[in-house]
Amino acid sequence: MTDVVLDGVGKVYPGGVHAVRNVRLHIADGELFVLLGPSGCGKSTLLRMIAGLEEITSGDLLLGGRIANELSPRDRNVAMVFQNGALYPHRTVRGNLMFPLRVAGDDPAEAGERVVELARLLGLAGLIDRLPRTLSGGQRQRVAMGRALIREPALFLMDEPLSSLDAVLRTELRVEIASLVRSTGATTVYVTHDQVEAMTMADRIAVLRDGAVEDVGAPERLYRDPATVFVAAFLSSPPVNLLQATAWSVQDAGMVLELGPQRLTVPWQDPRAAALIGHHGRPVVVGVRPDVLTLAPPGGPGPALTGRVRAVEFHGDHWLAYAEAGIPTVDANAFGRPPEPVAARAAGSLPSGRLAARLRDLLGRGAAEPEPAPEHEGEHRRSDLMFSLPAGTRPQPGEQVELAVDLDRLLLFDADGRRIASNRR
Ligand code: ADP
């Protein structure tokens, strides 16, 4: 039984970088748990502290109920796979898989059987006598994983194991890894900056930012009901519209959200209206995912926003449209950062603020790699309202549109970027 408890764990590197701040998590026995966040947010540091490769500055780590802060890596029964799982170049696949068992002094015949069985599970049966240099990147990574798993560790730690592979292979392998580690029953902590990887693989995800946990839960819950603006934005592709609003209590209607020149009303019978009362006259942030907006006939009865289409992009199964709606938007990175600045950020990490916004624009908004440029028409701006449309429909740039809003799926945050009230669905 190996569950992992992080009880107020922190890490300050020499030089004063607060890489991890007061992390409290309970990772259950057998769980596939993902640490997700942008580059430099402290994921690897946290994983390395669990592995025993990095000293813990404050707080406690418990493995299987026992304090493990001072345990050597060997005594933790953990196995780790890195981005470029290094293999012994002069050993075959069989030799690489066999090596940990040989070191442990296992019976050679039994070890041989285990190796063959694991190679089969990993789809490497036909390659068992090949050398690493004759394998593809994906096959090599499978061998690295097999070598970590063969000792049947109680705890399996993976640090971005797929990030050096191409997109097709990543998609294929993430399914395989998830089912493989689940079949072993090992508690698994998996680090990634890729929200799709996290959402598709995890039992639960912890979203980290600047060393602290912003939210933790099952993928579906995090997506439906994110605790902060940052989590809503990070788990969103296409990006969520983050609209700046002022909340007003209106007696016979409900809580009116004033969005520039437009309005949406959360009626009194909606339980979230009561939570919004405390924000009367104050700024709030309204998160609207593009699929919460649907093209509607003008003047329809339900809640709606209007806009003028500025650009459309073809994404295969749907169009993504950008409309000028006159509603001010906000930057997810502007909210709720920890008080002290993070002194020296990772070389690959992005700074915050306007430069970051510019960089993200250039990089395609996400923390992950930019998406391939879709077919598009017209120009769009960062403040435009994004909405998605089924592939059959295609509004033209310049067209005036009315967009029905699924009120139940609005995300409501306070001025600090924290959830005001949970979503109903
Ligand atoms: P992630 O895995 O999310 O990209 P890391 O855990 O690697 O993030 O890094 C978190 C922060 O700690 C970054 O600001 C990084 O620059 C810093 N950091 C990581 N390793 C060291 C180190 N050995 N010494 C000093 N700072 C470090």
Any ligand 1 atom below 6 A from CB of 85: no
Any ligand 1 atom below 6 A from CB of 36: no
pLDDT, tens digit, for every residue of 146-205? 898 888 888 999 999 888 788 888 888 888 888 888 888 889 999 999 999 999 999 999
Joined together, the tokens standing for residue 341 give 């600045």
Ligand 1 center to 48 CA (angstroms): 11
Any ligand 1 atom below 6 A from CB of 254: no
Pick the atom of ligand 1 nearest to 48's CA.
Answer: 6
Any ligand 1 atom below 6 A from CB of 20: no
Q: Output the pLDDT for position 1.
A: 65
Q: Are 4 and 155 in contact (CB under 8 A)?
A: yes
Q: Output the pLDDT for position 368.
A: 37
Name the residue among 194, 407, 184 with its Cα closest to residue 302.
Answer: 407
What integer best gives the mean pLDDT of the chain?
A: 87
In whole angstroms, give the CA distance from residue 114 to residue 384.
Answer: 57
In angstroms, the Cα distances linking 251 to 51, 268, 275 are 57, 9, 15
Pick the atom of ligand 1 nearest to 160's CA.
Answer: 2
Alpha helices (H) in 255-412, listed in sequence order = 271-277, 353-363
Estimate the crossing angle of helix 108-121 against helix 93-103, to 10 degrees.
130
Pick the atom of ligand 1 nearest to 38's CA.
Answer: 3
Q: Output the pLDDT for position 382.
A: 67
Tell me phi and psi for residue 405, to 5 degrees: -110, 130
Element spanning 338, H or E: none
Q: Are 25 and 31 in contact (CB under 8 A)?
A: no
Number of H helices, E strands in the chain: 10, 21
Any ligand 1 atom below 6 A from CB of 192: no
Domains and CATH numbers, the chain: 4-233 (3.40.50.300), 236-413 (no CATH)
pLDDT, tens digit, for every residue of 358-409? 433 433 333 333 344 455 566 666 679 999 988 887 788 999 999 999 999 9
Q: Output the pLDDT for position 336.
A: 77
Report the residue among 17, 41, 163 best suited for mutation to probe ligand 1: largest number of ligand atoms under 8 A from its CB.
17
The pTM for the full model equals 0.86
DSSP state of 38: S
pLDDT, tens digit, for every residue of 84-120? 768 899 999 999 999 989 888 889 999 999 999 989 8
pLDDT at 424 over 70: no
Any ligand 1 atom below 6 A from CB of 39: yes
Q: Are 153 and 79 in contact (CB under 8 A)?
A: yes
pLDDT, tens digit, for every residue of 37-85? 999 999 999 999 999 999 999 999 999 999 999 999 989 989 988 777 6
Any ligand 1 atom below 6 A from CB of 237: no
| Long-range contacts, 353-362 (Cβ 8 Å, 24+) | 356/331, 357/331, 357/333, 357/382
Name the residue among 287, 308, 298, 313 with its Cα closest to residue 389.
Answer: 313
- Name the residue at shortest CA distance from atom 5 of ligand 1: 42
Q: Are 32 and 189 in contact (CB under 8 A)?
A: no
- Name the residue at shortest CA distance from atom 10 of ligand 1: 42
In whole angstroms, give the CA distance from residue 393 to residue 89.
Answer: 54
